Amino acid sequence: MKASDLPATLGTEVKRRKYFVRMDVLEQTLRLVKIRLYISHDLFFQIYRNDRYQTTNLALIYNGQRLYARDELDGHWHRHTHRTPEEHDTSKEGKRSVEISEFLDEVEKVLAKLDLP
């Protein structure tokens, strides 16, 4: 996953997944990008990618709190589950890297479990 590829990839996901109402590019350089995909004003998916430091943050945010996330730090992944979003899940599943579409599929399951739109 490269920062420069993410706006187009996310644009495709916005078209595929009709529940997204808006995509905002908050920051973008050649090696860094921060984007939000809004479901509603207080419910959104945020992605941050920094190619220089091999850092990726994929997070579902609701009312200013992380509900679910997958993070890559220096090439190593961990997950924040919806049951314990403050903890790092470093199980085999938690350490697995995911593509954007797969993460969004996971987010849809979390939203269904939490009965959110």
HSE (side-chain half, CA atoms, 13 Å) at 67: 21
Q: Show the domain range for 19.
A: 3-113
User: pTM surpassing 0.75?
Assistant: yes
SS3 at position 48: strand
Q: What are phi and psi of 99, to 5 degrees?
A: -80, 160
Residue at token pair 């199980």: 91
In the chain, the number of structural domains is: 1
pLDDT at 75: 87
Please check whether residue 41 is in contact with residue 117, taking contact to mean a CB–CB distance below 8 angstroms: no
25-to-12, 49, 106, 109 alpha-carbon distances in Å = 14, 12, 22, 25
Please write the tens of the pLDDT for every residue from 2-44. Answer: 999 999 999 999 999 999 999 999 999 999 999 999 999 999 9
CA distance 100 to 13: 8
